[in-house]
Structure 1
Amino acid sequence: MADSLHVPCVLFVCVHNAGRSQMAAAWLSHLARGSVRVYSAGTDPADEIDSAAVAVMAEAGVDISAELPKALDVATVLEADVCVTMGCGDTCPVFPGKRYLDWTLQDPAGQDTETVRRVRDEIKVLVEGLIRELAPDRRSATG
């Protein structure tokens, strides 16, 4: 039961930290409701969050409009229990003993709204699976 005191930490990484990783971090924060610490970062951060990502997340009741892309740093990777990469390939640092997942997701940048919605929904399903694994006693806000 001592392990129940540990709050798992997840880091989502994509190139620009403007779409996929921001949506994933928002879904995990929203659905896990505090049972998981969440970070997102990019290997080459954009200046702002993708407006289509903001719009489709708002449709789902999750506000990411105040978020800003952040640069990936070693300290955040070292703090994370799980690092989820989304298209940054070899530019993501790898440290022994860390768990890495690679989610193959289409980059929503420049895509039509339907495509961005599909990516949003794919991310939600993956995040729900991660919650079941990392915080099995926590039910998501949607069910």
Structure 2
Amino acid sequence: MAPHDHPDLSIDQRHALLTAATRLSTEFAGVFGVETIDRFLTSSYDQFAGRARIPHYLPLLAERFARQRLHALAKVEGKSLDGRPVVVFLCVHNAGRSQMALGFLQHHAGEAAVGWSGGSQPGDAIELGAVAAMAERGIDITSEYPKPWTDEVVRAADVVITMGCGDACPIFPGKRYEEWELDDPAELDLTGVRTVRDDIERRVLRLLDSLGVAAAGK
């Protein structure tokens, strides 16, 4: 089923998804066919349809998530090898710890590394305490959103960082895994979130050093 043929879509959503499918088809021309792109866009839409707070943004979320998953699949299948290390941060709700870690990785690594994140039980929105604590460091994470992880995203990673997701975290042989034991920001006041934030930054900087990525922004 093409994404814009989904039975529960409004006219505006159909148009937005059709436009998204066209953009993705152009972006991944020669890499993936229309059927693969439509399948990923439809399944990405379904991931958010039952819990998105603002339905108007569903096509945009679906397009962004589908694009990430297609980039991951391209790496897994050897169709995209640019030499940059890929790090995936996994926690439970993808609303606090993993989002702060992703923010620091993108801030310090820039274009020298690729960062993704996901949760075993994605929340509805990024935690306000995490947003505020990161804003104090000049890093805006409000453009991100809680999302699940998928097999292709984890398989594409060079390093998988887990944060409290336990047995729910996916395990693929041969991957480099690290468990970061960190308090959940959702259970802390802003002072406590700052402590977790600073710990995460130190860990991200050590990780980048281990990957041979020179950290900027320090």
TM-score of the superposed pair, with normalisation by structure 2: 0.62
Does residue 140 in structure 1 map to residue 208 in structure 2?
Answer: no
Query: Greater share of helix residues, 1 or 2?
Result: 2
Does residue 62 in structure 1 map to residue 62 in structure 2?
Answer: no
Higher relative contact order (Cα pairs below 8 Å, separated by 6+ residues): 1
Q: How many angstroms does 1:135 deviate by? A: 2.6
Structure 2 unaligned spans of 5+: 1-81
Structure 1 unaligned spans of 5+: none
The match for 1:99 is 176
The match for 1:32 is 109
Q: Secondary structure at the match of 1:23?
A: helix
Q: Secondary structure at the match of 2:112?
A: coil
The match for 1:6 is 83
Counterpart-to-counterpart distance in 2, 1:21 and 1:139: 19
> Residues 125 and 146 of structure 2 are in contact (CA less than 8 Å); yes or no, is this contact kept in structure 1?
yes
Q: How many angstroms does 1:114 deviate by? A: 0.4
The match for 2:96 is 19
1:82 to 154, 159, 165: 159
Counterpart-to-counterpart distance in 2, 1:10 and 1:131: 10
Counterpart-to-counterpart distance in 2, 1:91 and 1:110: 21
Q: How many angstroms does 1:6 deviate by? A: 1.1
The match for 1:108 is 185
> Residues 205 and 215 of structure 2 are in contact (CA less than 8 Å); yes or no, is this contact kept in structure 1?
no
Structure exhibiting the larger radius of gyration computed from Cα positions: 2
Q: How many angstroms does 1:63 deviate by? A: 0.2
Identical pairs, percent? 49
Q: How many angstroms does 1:34 deviate by? A: 1.2
Query: Greater share of strand residues, 1 or 2?
Result: 1
Amino acid in the other structure paired with 2:92: V
Counterpart-to-counterpart distance in 2, 1:126 and 1:139: 12
1:117 to 194, 199, 204: 194
**How many equivalent residue pairs?**
137
Q: How many angstroms does 1:141 deviate by? A: 1.2
Amino acid in the other structure paired with 2:187: G
> Residues 90 and 117 of structure 2 are in contact (CA less than 8 Å); yes or no, is this contact kept in structure 1?
yes
Amino acid in the other structure paired with 2:122: P
Amino acid in the other structure paired with 2:120: T
Q: CA RMSD in A?
A: 0.9
Q: Secondary structure at the match of 1:141?
A: coil
Q: Which runs of 4+ in 1 moved over 2 A?
A: none
Counterpart-to-counterpart distance in 2, 1:15 and 1:123: 16
